[in-house]
Amino acid sequence: MFIPNTLLGLLGLTIAVYAQCSNFLIDDFSRPTPSGFNNLTSWTSDDNSMSSIALAGGLLSFTPKPDHSSYFYETLPCYQAATQGYKALSLTVKGPKDASFMVEIQTKQACTDNEYQSQWVVISGLTGSVQTVSISLSSFPGANLDGITGFVWSTYSQFSGYEFSNLRFTCNEEAASSSTSASRSISASPGASTSAISTSTLSTLTSRSVSASSTGRFNRVVDLDRSHFVDCVNFTSPLFKFGHLFQDDYSLWKQQHQPLVNCVRLSYSSVIARLVKLQQPSHR
Protein backbone atom coordinates (compact mmCIF):
# COMPACT_ATOMS: atom_id res chain seq x y z
CA MET A 1 0.00 0.00 0.00
CA PHE A 2 1.43 3.36 -1.05
CA ILE A 3 1.42 6.10 1.55
CA PRO A 4 2.30 9.59 0.29
CA ASN A 5 5.31 11.28 1.86
CA THR A 6 3.08 14.14 2.94
CA LEU A 7 0.96 11.74 4.96
CA LEU A 8 4.05 10.16 6.45
CA GLY A 9 5.25 13.59 7.38
CA LEU A 10 1.97 14.37 9.07
CA LEU A 11 2.07 11.07 10.93
CA GLY A 12 5.62 11.77 11.98
CA LEU A 13 4.68 15.19 13.20
CA THR A 14 1.80 13.75 15.20
CA ILE A 15 4.06 11.16 16.77
CA ALA A 16 6.58 13.86 17.62
CA VAL A 17 3.93 15.97 19.31
CA TYR A 18 2.80 13.13 21.53
CA ALA A 19 6.40 12.20 22.32
CA GLN A 20 7.06 15.68 23.64
CA CYS A 21 5.12 15.13 26.85
CA SER A 22 7.16 13.68 29.67
CA ASN A 23 6.63 14.13 33.38
CA PHE A 24 7.94 17.51 34.50
CA LEU A 25 9.63 18.09 37.85
CA ILE A 26 8.45 21.20 39.70
CA ASP A 27 10.34 20.64 42.95
CA ASP A 28 12.76 17.88 43.92
CA PHE A 29 13.29 19.52 47.34
CA SER A 30 17.05 19.37 46.93
CA ARG A 31 17.76 22.88 48.22
CA PRO A 32 19.35 23.32 51.68
CA THR A 33 16.40 25.08 53.36
CA PRO A 34 12.58 24.76 53.21
CA SER A 35 12.28 28.29 51.80
CA GLY A 36 14.08 28.87 48.53
CA PHE A 37 13.80 28.31 44.81
CA ASN A 38 12.20 25.26 43.22
CA ASN A 39 13.26 23.61 39.96
CA LEU A 40 11.57 26.41 38.02
CA THR A 41 13.65 28.98 39.97
CA SER A 42 10.42 30.26 41.52
CA TRP A 43 9.98 30.93 45.22
CA THR A 44 8.62 28.35 47.63
CA SER A 45 8.10 28.75 51.38
CA ASP A 46 5.87 28.28 54.40
CA ASP A 47 6.33 31.92 55.49
CA ASN A 48 7.22 30.58 58.96
CA SER A 49 3.63 29.40 59.36
CA MET A 50 4.51 25.83 60.45
CA SER A 51 5.13 24.70 64.00
CA SER A 52 8.30 23.06 62.67
CA ILE A 53 9.71 22.45 59.20
CA ALA A 54 12.92 20.94 57.83
CA LEU A 55 14.36 19.84 54.51
CA ALA A 56 16.88 17.04 54.04
CA GLY A 57 17.58 14.40 51.43
CA GLY A 58 14.85 15.61 49.09
CA LEU A 59 12.21 15.30 51.81
CA LEU A 60 10.23 18.22 53.21
CA SER A 61 9.15 17.39 56.77
CA PHE A 62 6.80 19.63 58.72
CA THR A 63 4.28 19.81 61.53
CA PRO A 64 1.35 22.23 61.12
CA LYS A 65 0.13 24.46 63.92
CA PRO A 66 -3.17 23.44 65.57
CA ASP A 67 -4.75 26.82 64.79
CA HIS A 68 -5.07 25.93 61.07
CA SER A 69 -2.85 28.85 60.06
CA SER A 70 -0.09 26.73 58.50
CA TYR A 71 0.50 26.47 54.78
CA PHE A 72 3.21 25.74 52.24
CA TYR A 73 3.29 27.16 48.73
CA GLU A 74 5.11 26.79 45.44
CA THR A 75 5.10 29.62 42.91
CA LEU A 76 5.33 29.01 39.17
CA PRO A 77 6.21 31.44 36.36
CA CYS A 78 2.73 31.44 34.77
CA TYR A 79 3.31 27.90 33.53
CA GLN A 80 1.51 26.54 30.44
CA ALA A 81 0.64 23.05 31.66
CA ALA A 82 -2.18 22.45 29.15
CA THR A 83 -0.09 23.39 26.13
CA GLN A 84 2.68 21.09 27.35
CA GLY A 85 0.20 18.22 27.59
CA TYR A 86 0.16 17.79 31.37
CA LYS A 87 -2.96 16.28 32.91
CA ALA A 88 -2.24 15.98 36.63
CA LEU A 89 -0.27 17.28 39.60
CA SER A 90 1.59 14.54 41.45
CA LEU A 91 3.13 14.68 44.92
CA THR A 92 4.61 11.97 47.11
CA VAL A 93 3.07 12.35 50.57
CA LYS A 94 3.31 10.76 53.97
CA GLY A 95 0.89 12.00 56.60
CA PRO A 96 -1.12 10.89 59.63
CA LYS A 97 -3.64 8.15 58.93
CA ASP A 98 -7.04 9.54 57.87
CA ALA A 99 -5.69 13.09 57.75
CA SER A 100 -6.76 15.60 55.13
CA PHE A 101 -5.54 18.89 53.72
CA MET A 102 -6.44 21.36 51.01
CA VAL A 103 -4.61 22.05 47.76
CA GLU A 104 -5.11 25.42 46.08
CA ILE A 105 -4.27 26.21 42.47
CA GLN A 106 -3.64 29.82 41.48
CA THR A 107 -4.01 30.77 37.82
CA LYS A 108 -4.22 33.89 35.67
CA GLN A 109 -6.36 34.36 32.58
CA ALA A 110 -3.40 36.23 31.06
CA CYS A 111 0.12 36.23 32.43
CA THR A 112 0.12 40.03 32.44
CA ASP A 113 -2.96 40.18 34.69
CA ASN A 114 -2.64 41.60 38.19
CA GLU A 115 -5.26 39.22 39.55
CA TYR A 116 -5.18 35.46 39.84
CA GLN A 117 -8.00 32.97 40.26
CA SER A 118 -7.91 30.34 43.01
CA GLN A 119 -9.68 27.02 43.38
CA TRP A 120 -9.27 24.27 45.96
CA VAL A 121 -9.52 20.51 46.28
CA VAL A 122 -9.53 18.54 49.53
CA ILE A 123 -7.20 15.56 49.79
CA SER A 124 -8.56 13.18 52.39
CA GLY A 125 -8.06 9.64 53.64
CA LEU A 126 -4.28 9.58 53.93
CA THR A 127 -3.01 6.10 54.73
CA GLY A 128 -0.22 6.92 57.19
CA SER A 129 2.31 5.45 54.75
CA VAL A 130 4.17 6.92 51.80
CA GLN A 131 1.79 7.33 48.87
CA THR A 132 1.54 9.25 45.64
CA VAL A 133 -1.31 11.73 45.52
CA SER A 134 -2.26 12.56 41.95
CA ILE A 135 -4.70 15.41 41.33
CA SER A 136 -6.22 15.64 37.88
CA LEU A 137 -5.93 19.21 36.66
CA SER A 138 -9.49 18.87 35.42
CA SER A 139 -10.47 18.86 39.11
CA PHE A 140 -10.07 22.64 38.92
CA PRO A 141 -12.95 23.67 36.62
CA GLY A 142 -12.58 27.11 35.12
CA ALA A 143 -8.87 27.39 35.95
CA ASN A 144 -6.63 28.52 33.11
CA LEU A 145 -4.18 25.64 32.96
CA ASP A 146 -1.96 27.69 30.66
CA GLY A 147 -1.49 30.32 33.33
CA ILE A 148 -0.59 28.46 36.54
CA THR A 149 1.18 30.74 39.01
CA GLY A 150 1.14 28.72 42.21
CA PHE A 151 -0.02 25.87 44.42
CA VAL A 152 -0.73 26.07 48.17
CA TRP A 153 -1.16 23.24 50.69
CA SER A 154 -3.10 24.25 53.80
CA THR A 155 -5.93 23.49 56.25
CA TYR A 156 -4.45 20.32 57.74
CA SER A 157 -6.87 18.26 59.79
CA GLN A 158 -4.20 16.63 61.97
CA PHE A 159 -1.15 18.26 63.47
CA SER A 160 1.56 15.61 63.64
CA GLY A 161 4.28 15.11 61.03
CA TYR A 162 3.85 15.27 57.24
CA GLU A 163 6.39 14.63 54.50
CA PHE A 164 6.33 15.96 50.91
CA SER A 165 8.62 15.05 48.03
CA ASN A 166 8.78 14.79 44.26
CA LEU A 167 6.29 17.43 43.12
CA ARG A 168 5.68 17.29 39.38
CA PHE A 169 3.28 17.57 36.49
CA THR A 170 2.39 14.26 34.85
CA CYS A 171 1.13 13.48 31.37
CA ASN A 172 -1.52 11.01 32.51
CA GLU A 173 -4.46 11.42 34.84
CA GLU A 174 -4.43 8.92 37.69
CA ALA A 175 -7.59 7.34 39.01
CA ALA A 176 -9.16 9.36 41.80
CA SER A 177 -12.71 9.81 42.95
CA SER A 178 -14.02 13.34 43.06
CA SER A 179 -17.07 15.28 44.09
CA THR A 180 -17.99 18.91 43.66
CA SER A 181 -19.46 21.27 46.22
CA ALA A 182 -20.63 24.86 46.02
CA SER A 183 -18.24 27.43 44.61
CA ARG A 184 -18.02 31.18 44.74
CA SER A 185 -15.65 33.80 43.34
CA ILE A 186 -14.34 36.38 45.79
CA SER A 187 -11.73 39.09 45.56
CA ALA A 188 -9.26 40.84 47.83
CA SER A 189 -7.38 44.09 47.77
CA PRO A 190 -3.70 44.00 46.74
CA GLY A 191 -0.75 44.57 49.07
CA ALA A 192 0.63 41.86 49.68
CA SER A 193 6.29 7.76 41.44
CA THR A 194 3.98 8.11 38.44
CA SER A 195 1.56 5.36 39.50
CA ALA A 196 -0.85 6.64 42.09
CA ILE A 197 -1.25 4.36 45.08
CA SER A 198 -3.32 6.89 46.96
CA THR A 199 -6.84 6.21 48.15
CA SER A 200 -7.29 9.92 48.74
CA THR A 201 -10.57 11.56 47.85
CA LEU A 202 -10.65 14.80 45.90
CA SER A 203 -13.37 17.34 46.55
CA THR A 204 -13.54 20.59 44.62
CA LEU A 205 -14.28 23.61 46.78
CA THR A 206 -14.63 27.34 46.33
CA SER A 207 -12.95 29.61 43.83
CA ARG A 208 -11.84 33.20 44.21
CA SER A 209 -10.09 36.04 42.45
CA VAL A 210 -7.43 37.98 44.30
CA SER A 211 -4.95 40.66 43.40
CA ALA A 212 -1.33 39.59 43.19
CA SER A 213 1.30 41.32 45.26
CA SER A 214 4.70 42.26 43.91
CA THR A 215 6.20 42.74 47.36
CA GLY A 216 5.27 39.54 49.16
CA ARG A 217 3.50 36.26 48.65
CA PHE A 218 0.96 36.82 51.39
CA ASN A 219 -0.08 39.91 53.28
CA ARG A 220 -2.71 40.95 55.79
CA VAL A 221 -5.63 40.96 53.37
CA VAL A 222 -4.66 37.91 51.32
CA ASP A 223 -3.76 35.96 54.45
CA LEU A 224 -7.17 36.79 55.87
CA ASP A 225 -8.74 35.57 52.67
CA ARG A 226 -6.84 32.28 52.86
CA SER A 227 -9.54 30.95 55.20
CA HIS A 228 -11.95 31.41 52.28
CA PHE A 229 -14.54 33.27 54.31
CA VAL A 230 -14.75 35.17 57.55
CA ASP A 231 -17.50 35.92 60.01
CA CYS A 232 -17.42 39.52 61.16
CA VAL A 233 -18.37 40.52 64.67
CA ASN A 234 -19.50 44.09 65.23
CA PHE A 235 -18.74 44.79 68.87
CA THR A 236 -20.94 47.91 68.83
CA SER A 237 -23.95 45.61 68.75
CA PRO A 238 -25.17 44.34 72.15
CA LEU A 239 -25.81 40.94 70.59
CA PHE A 240 -22.58 40.83 68.54
CA LYS A 241 -23.95 41.04 65.04
CA PHE A 242 -22.63 38.16 62.93
CA GLY A 243 -22.56 38.17 59.17
CA HIS A 244 -20.60 36.52 56.39
CA LEU A 245 -18.11 38.92 54.85
CA PHE A 246 -16.68 37.57 51.63
CA GLN A 247 -13.66 39.39 50.33
CA ASP A 248 -15.58 40.80 47.35
CA ASP A 249 -17.63 42.66 49.94
CA TYR A 250 -14.55 44.05 51.68
CA SER A 251 -14.12 47.10 49.43
CA LEU A 252 -17.81 47.96 49.73
CA TRP A 253 -17.55 47.59 53.51
CA LYS A 254 -14.64 50.04 53.56
CA GLN A 255 -16.52 52.54 51.41
CA GLN A 256 -19.44 52.48 53.81
CA HIS A 257 -17.13 53.48 56.72
CA GLN A 258 -18.38 50.81 59.08
CA PRO A 259 -17.09 50.88 62.68
CA LEU A 260 -13.91 49.00 63.49
CA VAL A 261 -14.67 45.29 63.69
CA ASN A 262 -12.87 42.12 64.54
CA CYS A 263 -13.21 39.29 62.06
CA VAL A 264 -13.25 35.65 63.06
CA ARG A 265 -11.29 33.39 60.73
CA LEU A 266 -12.95 30.01 60.20
CA SER A 267 -11.50 27.11 58.25
CA TYR A 268 -13.62 24.55 56.48
CA SER A 269 -12.37 21.65 58.57
CA SER A 270 -12.77 23.17 61.99
CA VAL A 271 -14.70 25.64 64.08
CA ILE A 272 -11.48 26.75 65.72
CA ALA A 273 -11.32 30.47 65.08
CA ARG A 274 -8.77 33.22 65.31
CA LEU A 275 -9.44 36.93 65.70
CA VAL A 276 -7.91 39.19 63.12
CA LYS A 277 -8.25 42.93 63.66
CA LEU A 278 -8.82 44.98 60.54
CA GLN A 279 -7.52 48.48 60.14
CA GLN A 280 -9.86 51.35 60.91
CA PRO A 281 -11.32 52.62 57.60
CA SER A 282 -10.36 56.20 56.84
CA HIS A 283 -13.21 58.73 56.82
CA ARG A 284 -13.45 61.32 54.11
Work out the mean pLDDT of the chain and round it to a whole number.
69
Same-domain pairing of 185 and 160: yes
At 174 the pLDDT is: 62
| CATH classification at residue 58 | 2.60.120.430
pLDDT tens-digit profile of 86-99? Answer: 999 999 999 999 99
* Residues 182 and 210 grouped into a single domain: yes
Tens digit of each residue's pLDDT (9 = 90 or more) over 160-209: 999 999 999 999 876 443 322 223 222 222 222 222 323 334 444 444 44
Residue 157 has pLDDT above 80, yes or no: yes
Looking at the structure, tell me whether residues 262 and 206 fall in a common domain: no
One domain for residues 173 and 58:
yes
Task: Supply the range of the domain harboring residue 254.
Answer: 230-277
Looking at residue 78, its pLDDT comes to: 95
Q: How many C-beta neighbours within 10 Å does residue 257 have?
A: 11
Q: Are residues 40 and 85 in the same domain?
A: yes
Q: Between 250 and 274, where is the model more confident?
A: 250
What band does 21 get if pLDDT is binned at 50, 70 and 90?
Answer: confident
Residue 46 inside a domain? The answer is yes
Give the integer Cα–Cα distance in Å for 147 and 109: 6
Residue-level pLDDT at 39: 97
Assign 19 a pLDDT band (cuts: 50, 70, 90).
low
Residues 163 and 237 occupy one common structural domain: no
Q: Is residue 14 part of a domain?
A: no
Position 185: which residue type? Answer: S
- Residues 31 and 137 reside in one and the same domain: yes
Examine the domain organization and report whether 163 and 270 are in the same domain. Answer: no
Distance CA 101, CA 126 (A): 9
Of 202, 225, 248, the domain-final residue: 225
Residues 214 and 150 in one domain: yes
35 near 28, Cβ under 8 Å? no
At residue 139, the 3 state secondary structure works out as: helix
Is residue 242 in some structural domain?
yes
Q: Are residues 79 and 220 in the same domain?
A: yes
Range name among 52-66, 149-163, 196-210 with the lowest pLDDT average: 196-210
133 shares its domain with 185: yes
Q: Quote the number of domains for the chain.
A: 2
C-alpha distances in angstroms, 48 versus 35, 62, 63?
A: 9, 11, 11
Indicate if 118 and 73 belong to the same structural domain: yes
Q: Is the pTM of this model over 0.85?
A: no
Q: State the pLDDT at residue 49.
A: 96
Domain membership of residue 7 (yes or no) is: no
Q: pLDDT for 99-150, tens place per residue?
A: 999 999 999 999 999 999 999 999 999 999 999 999 999 999 889 999 999 9
